[in-house]
Amino acid sequence: MGQALRRIILSGDARKPAVEAAVADLLPWLRQRAEVVATDLAMDRELEHVEADLAVILGGDGAILSVARRLGRNQIPAIGVNLGKFGFLAEVSPDQFRERFDDILAGRYRLSSRMRLACALWRGGRVAAEHTALNDVVVSRGALSRLVAIGLVVDGMRTTTYNGDGVIVSTPTGSTAHSLSAGGPVVDPELAAMVVTPICPHTLTNRPVVLPGHRTIELHAEATPVDVGLTVDGQVYQQIAAGDHVIVRRAASDLKLIDLGLRTYYDTLREKLHWSGSALHGHC
């Protein structure tokens, strides 16, 4: 059982027709049943200081990534209402949301805690920028198809230098995103872990590494004629100069997703990754 929820943030990119229609349908309905304390319909509002109990997010997984980042340390329970095919994070349909909303208000749900990352870009001995990520932090080459050299330091210990297209540091949630396409493992989201995955490494023995969540990771952009950039959750981009380094560690607060028990994580994996589940009769 979770806590009873009354004060709601409604978030979604209303510039998209499907979201605009869902807002027009759901907003009056929500206001009859709870207190909508804020709307975030341009997906640009800072939400850290909004006093609310629940974030209702219309859209797909990308919308959840954006809201999780803008909630900052104020990680109130969140639920994603998917307006297309269900995603890894946004799994309930508008109809399912309506059917189960009274359960949510009454606290009849469980919370799925999702580890987040905090990253800081250091330049000239000072922090030039700070970000948080739910999926991943990526340091990679720019437009030119040339190798970049990125040094990896773990808890102050020099580990290796990756020569390739870049390096991904992902959470368990992000292990099924960019990291997976680069050959990284699928990591159960209940684990507190970070995955370091090189992108197209020139040295074939450079393999993905799974680290415990308490480690501190440094990525150093070494001298290179190629543009290098920092990308956070595929939504925030910042240029990196030679000599800069990025420090990545576990964020102070996790995302809290409302789980209504409609499907398990492994149900989602089977459908999204097209895994076969028919070999063990009675189990799948």
User: Which residues are annotated as catalytic?
Assistant: 61
- Would you call 85 exposed, middle or buried from its count of C-beta atoms within 10 A (0-12, 13-18, 19+)? exposed
Pairing relation of β-strands 166-170 and 136-141?
A: antiparallel
Q: Give the integer Cα–Cα distance in Å for 272 and 251.
A: 27
Q: Give the integer Cα–Cα distance in Å for 110 and 75.
A: 15
Dihedral sign from CA coordinates of 196, 132, 119, 199: positive
Q: Give the integer Cα–Cα distance in Å for 172 and 185.
A: 9
Could you write out the DSSP letters of every residue in 21-45?
HHHHHHHHHHHTTSEEEEEESSS--
Q: Give the integer Cα–Cα distance in Å for 143 and 140.
A: 10
Cβ–Cβ < 8 Å for 27, 10: yes
- Would you call 264 exposed, middle or buried from its count of C-beta atoms within 10 A (0-12, 13-18, 19+)? exposed
Q: How far is CA 150 from CA 236, 241, 257, 261, in A?
A: 20, 12, 34, 42
